[in-house]
Each structure stands twice: as C-alpha cells, then as structure tokens.
Amino acid sequence: MEQSAAPTAGSRLQHLGEVLLVVFGAYLVASLAVQALNPLVTQHLVPLTATNIFSIAQYIIMFGAIVVVIAWYVRFIGTERLIRAVVPGRHGVALIVGGTVVLLAGQYAINQLLQWANASPGANQAVLAGSGDPTYFLAMIVVSLLVVGPAEELLFRGAVQGRLRESWGPWPAIIAATVLFGLVHIPAVTGGFEAQLSYALVAGVLGVVLGYLYEYTNNLVVPAVTHGCYNASLFGLLYLGEIGVLG
C-alpha cells in the first residue's frame, strides 16, 4: 500500500466518508442478510433453532455478508491498493504467535486492573450464548479462525485502515480503524458503562496490535490469523472452563 504523495484536506474527508459508509453499509447488509435468511435457516435447522447452532449459523451469514460488501468496495477502489495477502513465512508465523500472546496478556492485564478498581469486565453476547453448552465454544473456535477473524480484518484493517492510510498516514489510520472497531461492537456488550468501558479498552489493545501488524508486514493474513487465534483461544479457555478443566 503506497501512501498518496500529497494528500489534501478534500482527499482526507473523502476517504473518511468512504470508510464510514463502508462500515455502516457492511453491518446494514449483514443485518438484512440475517433477517432475510432466518426463515431458510429455521426451516433446515428445526428443531435445532432452540440451540446455539442457530446462533452460529447467523454469525456465519452475518460475516459472510460483510465479506461480500468489502469485496465490492476493494474491487471498486482497487484491491492491490488496499489489501495484500500472501502466505506468511517463518517471520510472519512468529508475529502471529507473538501477537496472539500479546493480545491475551493485554486482556488479562486489563481484567486484573478492572478487578483492582472493583469494576465488572464487559462480556460479548457471543460469549454468553455458550453458557451451559460446551459444543458451542468448540464450534466458535472454528468460526473464529475461518470466518470472524478474516472478515473483521478485511473490513477494519483492509478497507478502513488501508484506505485511510493513503491520505491520513499509518497511525491515524490505525487509531481510526480501532475506534470504529470498538464502536460497532459496543451494542453487543452486556452490562452498563463500566462493562462497555472495559470492552473498549480490550478493543483498543486489539485494534492497535492488529493495525501495527498489518502496517509492519503489509500482509493482511498476519492480523487476520492473529485475530482468529486470539478469539479461538478465548473460546478454548471457555470450553475448558465449561467442562470443568479450568476453575
């Protein structure tokens, strides 16, 4: 991704407006796709609609629709300008492992800080849905790696960060993508202001690390796999807790 030689105020505003529309449009199309396909999913998953299989199917539909919107946008703008994805080598794999560890350590540190401050950490509805159902967490490990991580990185690192970088520069693009990532996830957080604040902190760490990985490697596969591994690790720990291995 090459930054524009002489970005103007107009190009900055144009790119900012574009990414806001893409994020809003992606989630709007995803919501409409879920509503439109719900009857079909219900028909084929009955009597499983009372289980979490129905929820997992909805997640797959939602993120699949987001990918479709991003694919249209990057094709319109020029894929080579926004997204570069290649199979990572040893260095890339090391960055994925290191990034995953940093993200997990960051979440642990934030949770410890919140406990010290007598504040309750926020929980995503995708996590709460699996309470009492260990198989849900196992399924979400796969969904995280193959669907959620790649789709969200295509949107926030590829489309948003990639486009804003052309006129705003690397770090403003990383911060903007991180803020948008946190904002779109807040409605899914249960609890009050403290819970939302804690989630915003975690999202901040997540976004900055993933954004830096993309900027450093210029390879979307690295943050996409790191994101998926981070989510999968959380679901794996929840699974172990659900079956009694972890207290």
Single pTM value for the model: 0.91
Least confident of 52-56, 102-106, 172-176, 205-209: 52-56
Please state the rounded mean pLDDT for residues 10-31. Answer: 94
What is the per-residue pLDDT across 202-221, written as a single tens digit (0 to 9) for each?
Answer: 888 899 999 999 999 999 99
Q: What is the pLDDT of residue 96?
A: 98
Task: Work out the pLDDT band at 1, boundaries 50, 70, 90.
Answer: very low
What is the per-residue pLDDT across 63-119, written as a single tens digit (0 to 9) for each?
Answer: 999 999 999 998 888 766 778 899 999 999 999 999 999 999 988 888 888 788 777
Q: What is the pLDDT of residue 228?
A: 97
- Return the HEC string of the chain: CCCCCCCCHHHHHHHHHHHHHHHHHHHHHHHHHHHHHHHHHHHHHCCHHHCHHHHHHHHHHHHHHHHHHHHHHHHHHCHHHHCCCCCCCHHHHHHHHHHHHHHHHHHHHHHHHHHHCCCCCCEEHHHHCCCCCHHHHHHHHHHHHHHHHHHHHHHHHHHHHHHHHHHHCHHHHHHHHHHHHHHHHHHHEECCHHHHHHHHHHHHHHHHHHHHHHHHHCCCHHHHHHHHHHHHHHHHHHHHHHCCCCC
What is the per-residue pLDDT across 118-130, written as a single tens digit (0 to 9) for each?
Answer: 777 667 777 777 7
Q: What is the pLDDT of residue 3?
A: 46
